[in-house]
């Protein structure tokens, strides 16, 4: 099995679409009301820090995935257990992301089409993409990213022209002070979408140029945050805070406001494209993370797992919650505390401590742990 | 061999995936709904009347003289239920996404039964691009029934009419669903709506013959502006006040203002550009609102003998214009303050944006502060040109 | 192996989802597990279940193929995978 390579631009495209993914569908930072954009701005800094943290972690043992790091820290038996946890976590997240999209389609676009079919079809696509490998996924997102920018630009122009924008809706800035912002930062913005970057620890080693990879991923996070802030401002100035709080899919509601001269209207499709691309990439990346874990545990190429586990994701994307309120409440109240925080920050932090400690010990004793040569000797990580 | 089997399996599976979506509807099985009217019901809560157009009749080439649309009403307790039940009378699937006007009867509005707006906002098919109107003094369903020569169906006519009205004179607050709900939920603003009525005989207006007359038997006219307290209709403002309202709201596009220059002599200023800013803050328990208006206009007709090549004359006219605008706007504001005490202008919203800390304290009591608010109107008006004539012929008329 | 992993992950996700549901709806975990799979009223579950079965079939087919390859590989003493 050959090592798959992705270029820096592809990594950026993946990061961009991943971060936009479901965040742009359901809107983030809404706790901060009309200061949501400030909250996202602050979260961007944290997001940048988060990804640097993950890079730092991965750079301790270059050329290894998260799972092999786990093995190094905890030993194989315990690592399998933790890996299984990560696999379930990634699959669960993938299911949530796809459920977001299914809800969007079912409640806003095709109410007569069962959500099961929507989930199933998109999971087939994801399964097929991953069957072909990470490179295909990376290229897909690279190809579609320019369209994403184009469509966001178009949406902005249309909104400006149709005169729905009222900048005064941003006022008063920081009316309630920093409290609501902090409230929306923790754990909301911290874990979603920025903390979810943990899944990229499986992908980092596929980047051709690891040295520039850090910079590239920072750029990716930066651009994605810029778009998130931009869309957040766009939503506030068109819908108003109250409008955002009352809509399930704020960006979609925003697009519905566009009406130019009885000619350009009903441009929901643009927004759905943006969302669909993000969801496709985000769902795939999560699934890929899980597949790599399976590859690590069962020592079989991850491709074999792709279709069956895509089906599993489709199944659970529907079963995750009974209704939309259930879905949202789970996402706001349970998932951040019980899944996001431990898996995104808890385990990695413990891992980092153990890693640093072990490496220091290794250096002191000058025993056989020479990581550099170890990495060179083992060119195909994974299998 | 394996690949071929796989291919076959994939092809077989795609048959299920390629059937298309559940939501497709053929063009020949749908009817487009252009207007909705909500009346108060006797047995149920509402009577919903909808108008579904016959597209063939709207096109002049294919029209054959039949009725351009079908209007039918049903009684029940909720709009959504009724809207889906409409097939008791209509043969095709009804499409609500192209609705142009929603007409609410005065009775419903006076009872404050606007809670059906939730359905309109929630439904995915209905968009936020239709006019919301009050039927003043007539049944809302009758307004749907009046025919008109050009657009033929009443909602289409009203939609175009209000659009032209806004472009030429103002007088329609141009309220959309989103504005309405924003006003309903905001503490610093009360909703308004345009009100229409029927001039003539509503019974005769229902027929195709109504379209064949130079002076129609019945015609739907823009009447006034309805103002609300929360969901309840409280009163009406006339068209001039409506124009002043949209002037303050900074929604004015173009209008024509008649200004006295001598006793019983007037000149007309065609306003073509306007910007209004409202500043507000609370000071010692009193709201102070400043409305800054900056208006550009050109003179288009004068009844006074004026030499319109001189700077002084322009200056004099500008002063007169400023004074009139100021007087008009102040009149409307004080009228609303004294008569209704309802902050339809959204001054509270402005104070909220500009003086949030103070506003938070009086938020629930804003109405009182609005009533006693000190209003300042600053007008800067510029007359830029004077049509294609300089001096008026009135200056050298033979006595 | 893949089939095993399939079942294992399936049940882990099942437990996780049931846990969350039981936390939200205040019933015990057993009820959660039961409700999740057997009390779902949606008629379109058929599609999902068929999807699951397709996945399962994939797993089994791959497993059998891997097994055969392994046998062949062992016989020819070549390397596989």
CB pairs A-C closer than 8 Å = 104
Mean pLDDT, chain B, whole residue set: 88
Asked whether the beta carbons of A113 and A106 are under 8 A apart, the reply is: yes
pLDDT in tens, B242-285: 999 999 988 888 999 999 988 899 999 999 999 999 999 898 88
Ranges B111-120, B212-221, B299-308: which has the least confidence: B299-308
Q: Which residues of B touch A266 (CB under 8 A)?
A: 97, 127
Residue of A88, A334, A383 with shortest CB distance to C20: A334
CB-CB under 8 Å, A107 with B353: no
**Minimal-distance CA residue of chain C relative to A325:** C24
pLDDT of residue B159 exceeding 60? yes
B227-235 average pLDDT score: 91
Supply B352's token pair. Answer: 């909220």
Helix H or strand E encompassing A111: none
Ranges A283-287, B18-22, C19-23: which has the least confidence: B18-22
pLDDT number for residue A377? 42
pLDDT in tens, A311-336: 999 999 988 888 888 888 888 888 88
**Minimal-distance CA residue of chain B relative to A173:** B353
At A309 the three-state DSSP class reads: helix
CB-CB under 8 Å, A119 with C42: no
Q: What share of chain C is helix, strand, coil (3-state, %, to 5)?
A: 80, 0, 20
CB-CB under 8 Å, A114 with B22: yes
Give B 111-150 residues with CB within 8 A of chain A. Answer: 121, 124, 127-129
pLDDT number for residue A130? 92
Please report, for chain C, the start and end positions of each structural domain, with discontinuous segments joined by +: 2-76
pLDDT number for residue B20? 62
Please write down the HEC assignment for all residues of B283-336.
ECCEEEEEEEEEEEEEEEEECCCCCCCCHHHHHHHHHHHHHHHHHHHHHHHHHH
pLDDT number for residue A376? 43
Residue of A121, A240, A259 with shortest CB distance to B182: A240
Residue of B22, B121, B129 with shortest CB distance to A259: B129
CB pairs A-B closer than 8 Å = 50
Q: Are strands B374-383 and B286-302 parallel, antiparallel or unpaired?
A: parallel
Q: Class of A8-377 per CATH? A: mainly alpha
Backbone angles phi, psi at B202, to 5 degrees: -60, -30
A286-290 average pLDDT score: 93
pLDDT band at B17 (very low <50, low <70, confident <90, very high): low
**Torsion angle of C-alpha atoms A7, A12, A15, A18, degrees rounded to 10:** -90
pLDDT in tens, A60-110: 888 888 888 888 888 888 889 999 999 999 999 999 999 989 988 888 888
pLDDT number for residue A366? 54
Q: Which residues of A touch C59 (CB under 8 A)?
A: 308
CB-CB under 8 Å, A171 with B124: no
Please report, for chain B, the start and end positions of each structural domain, with discontinuous segments joined by +: 28-237, 238-399
pLDDT of residue A363 exceeding 90? no
pLDDT number for residue B179? 87
Residue B360 DSSP class: H
pLDDT in tens, B137-146: 999 999 999 9
Q: Are strands B192-200 and B218-229 parallel, antiparallel or unpaired?
A: antiparallel
What gap in Å lies between CA C45 and CA A116, rounded to an integer?
7
pLDDT number for residue B325? 93
A171 at interface of B, judged by CB pairs closer than 8 A: yes
pLDDT number for residue A365? 66
Other Cβ atoms closer than 10 A to A63:
19
CB-CB under 8 Å, A329 with C48: no
Q: Which residues of C touch A293 (CB under 8 A)?
A: none
Per the confidence metrics, is the pTM higher than 0.90? no
Residue B66 DSSP class: S
CB-CB under 8 Å, C16 with A92: yes
Task: Tell me the shortest Cα–Cα distance from A332 to chain B, in angstroms.
Answer: 23
**Minimal-distance CA residue of chain A relative to C50:** A311
pLDDT of residue A204 exceeding 90? no
Residue of A1, A315, A333 with shortest CB distance to C51: A315
Task: Tell me the shortest Cα–Cα distance from C41 to chain A, in angstroms.
Answer: 10
Q: Which residues of A touch B354 (CB under 8 A)?
A: 171-172
List the subunits that have 3+ CB pairs under 8 angstroms with C.
A
Asked whether the beta carbons of A296 and C1 are under 8 A apart, the reply is: no
Under 8 Å CB-to-CB from A33, ≥6 apart: which residues?
Answer: A176, A180, A241, A245
Mean pLDDT, chain A, whole residue set: 85
pLDDT number for residue B398? 74
Helix H or strand E encompassing B378: strand B374-383
The per-residue pLDDT string of chain C (81 residues; one tens digit each, 9 = 90 and over) reads 788 889 999 999 988 988 888 888 888 888 888 877 777 767 778 888 888 898 899 889 989 988 888 888 877 655 544
**For an interface test with A, which of B34, B98, B128, B188 has the most A Cβ atoms less than 10 Å from its Cβ?**
B128
What gap in Å lies between CA A306 and CA A303, rounded to an integer?
5
pLDDT of residue A337 exceeding 70? yes
DSSP string, A7-49: -HHHHHHHHHHHHHHHHHHH-S-GGGGGGHHHHHHHHHHHHHH
Under 8 Å CB-to-CB from B233, ≥6 apart: which residues?
Answer: B106, B109, B110, B112, B134, B226, B227
pLDDT number for residue A372? 45
What are the start-end ranges of the E strands in B13-158? 30-40, 46-53, 69-76, 93-95, 101-105, 131-135
Angle at alpha carbon of residue B119, lines to B155 and B94, rounded to 5°:
50
Task: Tell me the shortest Cα–Cα distance from C40 to chain A, in angstroms.
Answer: 8
- The alpha carbon of residue A356 and the mean position of all alpha carbons in its chain are separated, in whole angstroms, by 28
Q: Class of B238-399 per CATH? A: alpha beta
A291-315 average pLDDT score: 90
B333-351 average pLDDT score: 91
C24 at interface of A, judged by CB pairs closer than 8 A: yes
């Amino acid at each position: 099995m050959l090592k798959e390579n992705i270029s820096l631009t592809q990594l950026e495209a993946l990061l961009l679409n991943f971060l936009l993914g479901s965040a742009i569908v359901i809107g983030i930072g809404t706790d901060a009301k009309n200061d949501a954009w400030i909250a996202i701005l602050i979260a961007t800094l944290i997001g940048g820090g988060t990804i640097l943290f993950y890079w730092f972690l991965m750079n301790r043992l270059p050329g290894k995935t998260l799972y092999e790091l786990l093995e190094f820290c905890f030993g194989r038996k315990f690592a399998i257990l933790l890996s299984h946890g990560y696999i379930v976590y990634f699959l669960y997240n993938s299911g949530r992301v796809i459920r977001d999209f299914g809800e969007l389609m079912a409640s806003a676009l095709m109410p007569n089409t069962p959500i099961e079919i929507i989930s199933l079809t998109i999971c087939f696509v994801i399964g097929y993409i991953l069957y072909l490998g990470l490179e295909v996924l990376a290229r897909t997102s690279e190809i579609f990213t320019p369209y994403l920018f184009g469509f966001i630009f178009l949406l902005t122009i249309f909104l400006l022209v149709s005169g729905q924008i009222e900048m005064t809706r941003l006022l008063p800035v920081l009316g309630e002070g920093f409290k609501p912002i902090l409230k929306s930062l923790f754990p909301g913005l911290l874990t979603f979408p920025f903390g979810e970057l943990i899944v990229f620890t499986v992908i980092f080693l596929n980047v051709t140029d690891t040295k520039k990879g850090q910079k590239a991923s920072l750029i990716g996070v930066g651009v994605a945050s810029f778009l998130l802030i931009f869309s957040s401002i766009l939503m506030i100035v068109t819908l108003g805070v109250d409008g955002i709080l009352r809509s399930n899919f704020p960006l979609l509601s925003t697009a519905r406001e566009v009406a130019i001269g009885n000619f350009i209207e009903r441009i929901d499709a643009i927004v759905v494209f943006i969302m669909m691309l993000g969801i496709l990439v985000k769902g795939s990346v999560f699934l890929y993370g899980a597949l790599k874990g399976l590859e690590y545990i069962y020592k079989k190429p991850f491709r074999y797992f792709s279709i069956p586990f895509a089906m599993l994701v489709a199944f659970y994307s529907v079963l995750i919650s009974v209704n939309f309120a259930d879905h949202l409440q789970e996402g706001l109240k349970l998932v951040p505390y019980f899944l996001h925080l431990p898996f995104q920050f808890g385990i990695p932090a413990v891992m980092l401590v153990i890693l640093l400690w072990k490496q220091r010990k290794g250096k002191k004793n000058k025993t056989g742990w020479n990581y550099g040569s170890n990495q060179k000797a083992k060119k195909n990580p994974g299998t | 061999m394996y690949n071929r089997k796989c291919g076959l399996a994939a092809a077989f599976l795609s048959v299920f995936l390629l059937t298309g979506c559940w939501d497709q509807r053929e063009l020949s099985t749908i009817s487009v709904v252009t207007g909705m009217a909500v009346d108060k019901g006797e047995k149920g809560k509402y009577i919903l009347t909808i108008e579904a157009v016959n597209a063939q009749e709207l096109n002049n080439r294919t029209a054959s003289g039949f009725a351009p649309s079908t209007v039918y009403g049903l009684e029940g307790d909720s709009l959504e239920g009724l809207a889906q039940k409409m097939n008791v009378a209509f043969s095709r699937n009804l499409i609500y996404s192209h609705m142009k006007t929603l007409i609410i009867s005065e009775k419903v509005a006076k009872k404050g039964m606007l809670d059906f707006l939730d359905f309109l906002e929630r439904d995915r098919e209905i968009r936020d691009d239709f006019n919301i109107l009050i039927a003043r003094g007539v049944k809302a369903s009758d307004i749907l029934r009046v025919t008109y020569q050009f657009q033929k169906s009443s909602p289409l006519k009203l939609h175009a009419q209000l659009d032209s009205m806004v472009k030429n004179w103002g007088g329609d607050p141009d309220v959309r669903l989103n504005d309405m709900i924003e006003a309903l939920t905001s503490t610093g603003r009360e909703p308004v709506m345009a009100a229409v009525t029927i001039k003539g005989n509503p019974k005769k207006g229902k027929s195709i013959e109504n379209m064949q007359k130079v002076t129609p038997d019945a015609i739907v006219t823009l009447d006034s502006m309805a103002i609300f307290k929360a969901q309840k209709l409280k009163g009406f403002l006339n068209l001039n006040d409506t124009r002043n309202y949209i002037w303050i709201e900074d929604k004015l596009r173009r209008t024509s203002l008649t200004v006295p220059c001598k006793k019983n002599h007037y000149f007309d200023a065609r306003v073509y550009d306007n910007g209004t800013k409202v500043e507000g803050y609370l000071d010692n328990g009193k709201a102070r609102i400043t409305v800054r208006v900056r208006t550009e206009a050109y003179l288009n007709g004068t009844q006074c003998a004026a030499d319109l090549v001189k700077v002084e004359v322009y200056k004099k006219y500008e002063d007169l214009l400023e004074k009139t605008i100021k007087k008009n706007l102040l009149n409307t504001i004080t009228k609303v303050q004294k008569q209704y005490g309802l902050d339809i202008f959204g001054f509270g919203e402005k104070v909220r944006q500009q003086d949030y800390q103070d506003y938070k304290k009086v938020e629930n009591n804003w109405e009182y502060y609005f009533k006693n608010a000190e209003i300042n109107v600053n007008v800067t008006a510029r007359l830029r040109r004077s049509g294609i004539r300089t001096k008026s012929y009135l200056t050298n008329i033979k006595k | 192996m893949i089939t095993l992993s399939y079942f294992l992950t399936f049940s882990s996700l099942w437990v996780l989802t049931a846990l969350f549901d039981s936390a939200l709806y205040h019933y015990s975990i057993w009820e959660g597990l039961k409700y999740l799979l057997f009390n779902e009223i949606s008629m379109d579950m058929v599609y999902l279940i068929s999807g699951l079965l397709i996945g399962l079939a994939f797993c089994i087919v791959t497993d059998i193929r891997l097994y055969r390859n392994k046998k062949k590989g062992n016989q020819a003493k070549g390397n596989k995978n």
